[in-house]
Amino acid sequence: MGVLAIGWLAWQSAPGGGTERADLDYSEFLAAVEDGRVAEIKYDQSNGRITGKLAEGEQVDDKSEFATDGQPGGLPDADIELLNENGVGRNYKPPSSDLLGTILVYILPFVLIIGFFVWMSRRAQGQMGAVMNIGRSRAKVYSTEKPKTTFADVAGYESVKEEIKEVVDFLKFPGRFKEIGARIPKGVLLVGPPGTGKTLIARAVAGEAGVPFVSVTGSDFMEMFVGVGAARVRDLFQTAKKQAPAIIFVDELDSIGRKRGAGLGGGHDEREQTLNQMLAEMDGFEATEGIVMMAATNRPDVLDPALLRPGRFDRQVLVPLPTQSERLEILRVHFRDKRIGDDVDADIVARGTPGMSGADLANLVNEAALFAVRRGATEVQAIDFEDARDRVLMGLKRESMALTEEEKEVVAYHEAGHATCAYVLEHADPVHKVTILPTGMALGTTQQLPLEERHIYRREYITDSLVVRLGGRVSEQIVFGHLSTGANNDLVGCTELARKMVREWGMSDRIGPMAWGTQGAVFLGEDLMHTRDYSDETARVIDEEVEQILRDEEDRCRKVLTEHRPGLESVARALLERETLDGAEVIGLVDEAMGFKAGGPRRVAHADGVTEADPEEPLPPPFTPSD
């Protein structure tokens, strides 16, 4: 409507006709009439516009027609008399009734006002509808055809899938269980660290079960209004009951299942009412038949005990970090849609990723593919996985960071100390790679890869780990006679490891078989005013034992590096020359410098000194450094 109004005003104010006419002042027009040069005129009474033709043979600016502006409403009597005296023909155009202009001027404002009120009314109705639906559950219901994920897409975790399959079989064939009186658990809680595939397993259940699958997130129940979460829980179970047998899956259960009455400020009304309603729906006065509830959390320690009792979540399924064999299967799943080179050994990649979850492995494979694209390669090769692992574990290489020659030499001997100790110590993990290129927050790194996955760590392994961590600091002392700040991260790790040996693992003769774990989280309302459960004298003994362990291992590290000084020097010089060495190169350099022969006895360092190892243990062939 606004465009029409503007167009109408422009049309009203535009000069008429579009015909080429000469523009005259009104006085010039009267002079032309008096001279007899005007033949006829047309007068518009609404706006006073006068257009006309000149007499035959007369022109103004090479034009035979003219236009001028007169007085609206009618010409003056004197001008009319002048026109009559000169025989000028007149044609009057009466004022026209402008219907469009009338509508725009008088009716348009009312239309706009009415439209505004209609829009406000509809908006209010929408808001009222949203308020009325605020108690509706936001769960998504999946039919038997929609989910695409199955147990075949979940690599490893055979024991977990077996327990979940039992629930799926009960929903598919309930008669088989009822014949012998078996009762399926009403709730299955998937517990495990982040990224281990708990939600993926739940999606696989949706693809395998053949029954409706109702999925919701714990945060969907929380609102600013008290009672809304409880209403959504009721609506959730009503939706599932209509489609029973069915599975309800609640992701991130800890967001609504925290212990009631805990925290610094007391309870949380909305969360606790939501939890109370869920407890009642799962195993309350009215029995719920044909509905199995699944949930996932990585914080089972914060859940309310009433939620974990039999009859509710009476079965907890642990989804731990994958083992080496499971990591191998997970990697093969992620290799399916990637173009992997022939030099990539999935077993080596799995062995080099201890502690990584399924999500971490997926990210590792994707990062390797990105590195391959950056190199302009057509397939992902082993070097891309090496770079991707360094990127994930330590960060990007800082190419722009330039070290001075003195700093570079200190870093080289520091990393050579780590690598030499890692090779010659009996219980230390083998060296995988050593570099003095700044990566992430580190100026240099020494990577070790275990030959096999461990679940129990002996004291000898831990003490050798302390010696390897202290190798950089001690190497700087032996070679340069001073200390630097480069060992900061090593000392933090050593202190934490030694403190766990004394406080948690009972590896101190003075403390004995006693353990004190970390204190509980304050936000749970536990251990709020309780900081430690041992005396000041025990704390002093703990500090003394931690110090003694670190000093003993530092002395052993100094003895090891002094005995193997030629190997330390050889590795450091090679790092200064090539900046990066792999494990085989470190072994060859140390063996050649120390005069060890391939296939001969290997010298290893124990807590009681340097001894000869088993002569039957073969050594790799020596490495010959290039010129």
Domain boundaries, given as residue ranges, for the chain: 2-96, 140-318, 324-393, 405-517+531-612
pLDDT value for 558: 93
Asked if residues 216 and 137 have their Cβ atoms less than 8 Å apart, the reply is yes
pLDDT value for 448: 84
Model confidence pLDDT, tens digit, residues 199-253: 788 778 777 777 777 777 766 565 544 556 667 777 777 776 776 777 788 887 8
Higher model confidence: residue 499 or residue 195?
499
Average of per-residue pLDDT across 125-154: 55
> Is residue 486 pLDDT above 60, yes or no?
yes
> Is residue 560 pLDDT above 80, yes or no?
yes
Mean pLDDT score of the chain: 75
Q: What gap in Å lies between CA 389 and CA 354, rounded to an integer?
A: 11
Q: 3-state DSSP call for residue 293?
A: strand
Phi, then psi, of 36 in degrees rounded to 5: 75, 25
Is the pTM higher than 0.95? The answer reads no
Model confidence pLDDT, tens digit, residues 341-393: 888 888 888 887 887 888 888 888 888 899 889 888 888 888 888 888 878 77
pLDDT value for 601: 39
Model confidence pLDDT, tens digit, residues 409-423: 899 999 999 999 999
Q: CA 431: distance to chain centroid?
A: 33
pLDDT value for 616: 34
Across 129-139, b (16+ Cβ under 10 Å) vs e yields eeeeeebebeb
CA atoms within 13 Å, Cβ hemisphere of 139: 28
Which contacts qualify for 422-425: CB closer than 8 Å, 24 or more apart? 422/446, 422/448, 422/468, 422/471, 423/567, 423/586, 423/587, 423/590, 424/560, 424/564, 424/567, 424/590, 424/603, 424/604, 424/605, 425/464, 425/467, 425/468, 425/560, 425/604, 425/605
> Is residue 68 pLDDT above 50, yes or no?
yes
Average of per-residue pLDDT across 512-530: 57
> What topology is assigned to 324-393 in CATH?
Helicase, Ruva Protein; domain 3 (1.10.8)
May I ask the CATH architecture of the domain 140-318? 3-Layer(aba) Sandwich (3.40)
Strands (E), 35-96: 38-44, 49-54, 65-69, 89-93
**CA nearest to 185, candidates 295, 33, 344, 342:** 295
> What topology is assigned to 405-517+531-612 in CATH?
Methane Monooxygenase Hydroxylase; Chain G, domain 1 (1.20.58)
Q: What angle do CA 402, 403, 407 make, to 5 degrees?
A: 175
> Is residue 33 pLDDT above 70, yes or no?
yes
- Counting Cβ atoms within 10 Å, is residue 432 exposed (0-12), middle (13-18) or buried (19+)? buried
- Percentage with pLDDT > 70 across the chain: 76
pLDDT value for 142: 54
**CB atoms near residue 414 (< 10 Å):** 28
Kindly give the pairing relationship between strand 140-142 and strand 213-217: antiparallel
**CA nearest to 273, candidates 304, 314, 242:** 304
The CATH number of the domain covering residues in 2-96: 3.30.720.210
Kindly give the pairing relationship between strand 140-142 and strand 89-93: unpaired
Q: What gap in Å lies between CA 599 and CA 622, rounded to an integer?
A: 10
Q: Is 140-318 the same fold as 2-96?
A: no
The region of weakest confidence among 16-25, 490-499, 544-553 is 16-25
Most confident of 280-284, 339-343, 538-542, 621-625: 538-542
User: Catalytic annotation on 415?
Assistant: yes
Asked if residues 424 and 605 have their Cβ atoms less than 8 Å apart, the reply is yes
Residue 97: pLDDT band by 50, 70, 90 thresholds? low
Max Cα–Cα distance, the chain, nearest Å: 142
> Is residue 457 pLDDT above 80, yes or no?
yes
pLDDT value for 474: 93
Across 212-237, b (16+ Cβ under 10 Å) vs e yields bbbbbbbebbbeeeeebbbbbbbbbb
Catalytic residue among 272, 367, 415, 476: 415
- Counting Cβ atoms within 10 Å, is residue 478 exposed (0-12), middle (13-18) or buried (19+)? middle
Q: What gap in Å lies between CA 524 and CA 264, rounded to an integer?
A: 8
Q: What gap in Å lies between CA 533 and CA 284, rounded to an integer?
A: 40
The enclosing H or E element of 491 equals helix 488-503
Asked if residues 70 and 50 have their Cβ atoms less than 8 Å apart, the reply is yes
Q: What are the residues facing 68 on neighbouring strands?
A: 50
